[in-house]
Amino acid sequence: MPQSRRGSNRIGHKSRHATPVGAAPQPIDLRLTQLPHVFILQMYLSQFGYLPASARNPANSGLQDKSTWLNAIQEFQNFAGLNITGELDDETLKLMSLPRCGVRDRVGTGDSRSKRYALQGSRWRVKNLTYKVSKYPKRLKRVDVDAEIGRAFAVWSEDTDLTFTKKTTGPVHIEIKFVESEHGDGDAFDGQGGTLAHAFFPVFGGDAHFDDAELWTIGSPRGTNLFQVAAHEFGHSLGLSHSDQSSALMAPFYRGFEPVFRLDDDDKAAIQSLYGKKTSQPKPSNAYPVTSTLRPSYTPPKVPLDDSICKDSKIDTLFNSAQGETYAFKGDKFYKLTTDSVEEGYPQLISKGWPGLPGNIDAAFTYKNGKTYFFKGTQYWRFQGRQMDGVYPKEISEGFTGIPDHLDAAMVWGGNGKIYFFKGSKFWRFDPAKRPPVKASYPKPISNWEGVPNNLDAALKYTNGYTYFFKGDKYYRFHDARFAVSQIHSIHQWIETY
């Protein structure tokens, strides 16, 4: 969030003359200096990527290698456009006291010769994204929050072909929460001021969290403007890192309320480098007062040709195609799933969709070679798109040495790109590049995947980046980084067809 353009909060781009750093690193005990709150400063520089994580340990308070400390201060000053003195002068300390985004400043890549923006390195594979607000702020009306969140997403769709659809249930690409203090992701909020919000990049799920201790406001210079902060955080959710361009929305510091908002050219170049330029018009306005708020589109659920999946949501398998489409198999039929329902015209017969493939499939996955593998009983089939890729079926014992027959589920896990098979209370990891492809330490108990039940029906990494497990009428969203189930819901909340 760019710094304020008003009063003492303004940041200028001044001449940058670096203070020399001694050639030989030597420890400097800052507890002997006159600098106040040294540990707080270390925490700040560590939190935002300028010092190592060990600096956040109270045992290391005030004790830093001199060159490490000076380099950290200089890097921060350089990023913020301050004079590069290597000293914690008044201007540097004042900037550190400003409200800001909680995402690290140094993440990803940028080309300082031609642009100031930075990219984290991940992006969504689809352009039609979904979101939901699962926890609203205490002090604002839900309808007003929904309107501001819609406006914030629209900032990023004005110059690209990205679309954002609001949902109230089921899995989404971006989940939004207003929370306080410690809230389950290991990055606690700090009350009013300080860190306002943080968001995860696409590779980590894209979710956005806002500190509900802040005084969130709409269309007012009082408090913290929800629209501007949300638009910044959603930039992270789409794959943008912080920019060192002070006028950019993706600069880390909160700039204060702007009655007329316009996206900076730096931000436009950044988002278009990930998702391309917009191919259609018109563009909505983001000026106050809002006379015609751009609201997220809503498509009512479509009823499938038969409602067997609505009456009994247990499925045989679920997988993504090489094109990113999601299919559910049940008996001799298959369903194509959209982000909020079953696509119109389904179910259809598996034998017509994948000629030569039987019904009642046990498991399926699409590997990084673009080929989809189906498993039933003791056999498996390989398809390139909708065409059988060779002479099949073949025995699982021949093509997947070390993997059992009569599987429950299979998937390619996003955590490491390896293939995982599940049966009963056990799982196997299969790596075709290794010999043997299954290590002697397998099988292992499914209970290693904290919260995942035995006897699964299906598993997959969905297009929103999360891993999902399915059993009976429930699905389990798995947090890859914490290696534990984070949410459990009814499948009916995903396949809204009843």
Domains with residue ranges and CATH for the chain: 7-96 (no CATH), 128-275 (3.40.390.10), 308-493 (2.110.10.10)
Angstrom CA distances, 408 to 93, 130, 156, 328, 440, stand at: 58, 29, 41, 14, 21
pLDDT tier for residue 102 given thresholds of 50, 70 and 90: confident
Among 126-140, 189-203, 377-391, which is the least confidently predicted range? Answer: 189-203
In this predicted structure, what is the pLDDT of residue 325? 87
pLDDT tier for residue 300 given thresholds of 50, 70 and 90: very low
Tell me whether residue 209 is annotated as binding. yes
Using an 8 Å Cβ cutoff, are 19 and 70 in contact? Answer: yes
> Which residues have CB under 8 Å from 151's CB, separation 6+?
227, 231, 286, 290, 293, 294
Tell me whether residue 364 is annotated as binding. yes
Q: What percent of the chain has a predicted confidence (pLDDT) above 90?
A: 42
Question: C-alpha 370: how far from its chain's center?
Answer: 24
In this predicted structure, what is the pLDDT of residue 339? 63
> Which residues have CB under 8 Å from 228's CB, separation 6+?
1, 249, 254, 255, 257, 258, 261
pLDDT for residue 397 is more than 50: yes
Using an 8 Å Cβ cutoff, are 397 and 351 in contact? Answer: no
Q: Is 299 exposed, middle or buried (0-12, 13-18, 19+ CB in 10 A)?
A: exposed
Peptide bond into 436 cis (omega under 30): yes
Q: What is the mean pLDDT of residues 220-227?
A: 90
> Which residues have CB under 8 Å from 323's CB, separation 6+?
none
Tell me whether residue 190 is annotated as binding. yes
In this predicted structure, what is the pLDDT of residue 423? 97
Distance of alpha carbon 1 from alpha carbon 359, whole angstroms: 53
In this predicted structure, what is the pLDDT of residue 140? 94
- Residue 87's nearest CA partner among 9, 24, 14, 34 is 34
Active-site positions read 233
Distance of alpha carbon 331 from alpha carbon 333, whole angstroms: 6
The model carries a pTM of 0.51
Q: CA geometry: angle at 176 spanning 231 and 482, to 5°?
A: 120
Tell me whether residue 270 is annotated as binding. no
- Residue 105's nearest CA partner among 96, 113, 115, 114 is 96
> Which residues have CB under 8 Å from 131's CB, separation 6+?
149, 153, 164, 165, 166, 167, 172, 173, 174, 175, 176, 296
Among 58-62, 101-105, 133-137, 331-335, which is the least confidently predicted range? Answer: 58-62
Among 54-63, 174-183, 191-200, 432-441, which is the least confidently predicted range? Answer: 54-63
Tell me whether residue 344 is annotated as binding. no
Angstrom CA distances, 231 to 120, 210, 267, 284, 449, stand at: 17, 12, 11, 15, 35
Tell me whether residue 17 is annotated as binding. no
Tell me whether residue 410 is annotated as binding. yes
Distance of alpha carbon 485 from alpha carbon 248, whole angstroms: 37
In this predicted structure, what is the pLDDT of residue 53? 64
Longest dimension (CA), the chain: 78
Using an 8 Å Cβ cutoff, are 296 and 165 in contact? Answer: yes
Please provide the average confidence, as pLDDT, over all residues in the chain: 79
- For the record, the structure tokens of 351 come out as 């034998």
pLDDT for residue 311 is more than 80: no
Beta bridge partners of 209: 177, 198
Tell me whether residue 310 is annotated as binding. no
- Residue 318's nearest CA partner among 152, 157, 114, 463 is 463
pLDDT single digits (tens) 132-187? 999 999 999 999 999 999 999 999 999 999 999 999 988 899 999 999 988 887 77
In this predicted structure, what is the pLDDT of residue 494? 61
In this predicted structure, what is the pLDDT of residue 187? 78
Tell me whether residue 363 is annotated as binding. no
Q: What percent of the chain has a predicted confidence (pLDDT) above 70?
A: 77
Tell me whether residue 276 is annotated as binding. no
pLDDT single digits (tens) 420-438? 999 999 999 999 988 899 9
In this predicted structure, what is the pLDDT of residue 11? 27
Type of residue numbered 376: K
Using an 8 Å Cβ cutoff, are 241 and 118 in contact? Answer: yes
